[in-house]
Amino acid sequence: MEHNQNLQLPVSVVGVTDVNRLDRELVAIDEFLHQGAIREPGTAMKLPKTSKLFDELISTNGLNLLQEADRSALRNFLRSIQTNAPRLHISFSADPSPLFLQRLMNYLREKINPKVLVQVGLQPNIGAGCVVRSTNKVFDLSLREDFRKKRGLLMQHIQKLEAHDTKQEVQA
């Protein structure tokens, strides 16, 4: 249980889909090892392939999957993440790059919650920025909302320009 609490999600694990995939890979490895234990020696078995994400998870947490305890701890950790991890839905104007997501997840895991998962959405009309949706709230951090908030400033500039144009027309 203590070991379970010390496990960390790498920043490349972004959403619940990734966690589900990691869980499936862990189940495959678990089954492979279990079958290897009960089969006769010398029987050909196909080693399950693991993803880069899974390898990163293992290396980040320094786990040895040959150990049943580590596998069990990782399984519990992933199940715990699936059920209890806080989730954020963040929409961008374009598809974010992996590097962008990695940096963002780094910040979120560090400042918000180390287990937070993010579901990425797409809203091309927001211009720039993002829209963050937490469990109960929506935070519109887009350029569109920024323009809306600064509507008074825009109007002030437009009125200034209009007054300037009128003055020039009068002078002409």
Residues in contact with another protein by CB under 8 A are 86, 88, 92-97, 99-100, 103-104, 107-108, 111-113, 116, 124-130, 132, 134-137, 139, 141, 143-151, 154-155
**CA 75 vs CA 5, 57, 160: distances in Å:** 12, 12, 64
The tokens for 90 are 């963040």
Question: Which CB sits closer to another protein, 34 or 148?
Answer: 148
DSSP 48: P
Distance from CA of residue 37 to its chain's centroid?
A: 37
Q: What share of the chain is helix, strand, coil (3-state, %, to 5)?
A: 60, 15, 30
Beta 117-122 vs 129-133: how paired, if at all? unpaired
- The helix/strand/coil state of 131 is strand
CB of 88 to another protein, least distance (A): 7
**Side-by-side strand order, sheet with 129-133:** 117-122, 87-92, 129-133, 138-142
For the CB of residue 13, give the shortest distance to another protein in the complex, in Å.
Answer: 17
Residues 172 and 167: their CA atoms lie apart, in Å, by 9
By C-beta, is 43 or 135 nearer to another protein?
135
> Considering beta carbons, is residue 39 or 103 the nearer one to another protein?
103
Question: Closest separation between CB of residue 48 and another protein, Å?
Answer: 34
Between residues 155 and 161, which has the closer beta carbon with respect to another protein?
A: 155
Q: Please say which residue, 24 or 133, places its beta carbon nearer to another protein.
A: 133
Least Cβ distance, residue 134 to another protein (angstroms): 4
CB of 100 to another protein, least distance (A): 5
